[in-house]
Amino acid sequence: MLWVKSFHIVFIASWFAGLFYLPRIFVNLAMVPPESVAERERLMLMAEKLFRFTTMLAVPALVLGLWLWLGYGIGLGAGNGWMHAKLLLVVLILGYHHACGRLLKSFRTNANRRHHVWFRWFNEAPVIMLVLVVVLVVVKPF
């Protein structure tokens, strides 16, 4: 079980690294002037590769988490409200990941209408969610 937990943490940390960096690329894409085609293409390539890699990291992170939850019974039973809160946050994080994919698609098709400041705020969401997840897992407040 400790091996599964260890790999779960590594994949989660790597997944979040991508979720932290991808919106920063969106900030830069939103700031690229229309005449800077090469700069836009370079940033698009970076964003697309990072999104693919981040998605590949999310899958084993979720599978290992399910293994711990269902296979070992971590968080099951009375007194484990923290796990329900954590699972709700995981669903929100998956929604955030999906939103990143939709935003990437809007950049790919030149349909983005959001300002770079909006992406700066959007970039803060995974930080807040990660802090909440870590507090729930470590402190187990309910």
- Give the residue numbers of the binding site for heme: 8, 86
Q: Pick out the residues of the known binding site.
A: 8, 86
Six token digits for residue 71 = 């296979």
Tell me the one-letter amino acid at 3: W
Burial degree of 25 (CB within 10 A; 0-12, 13-18, 19+) = buried
From the list 93, 77, 82, 81, the residue with the least C-alpha distance to 129 is 93
C-alpha to C-alpha distance for 64 and 47, rounded to whole angstroms: 26
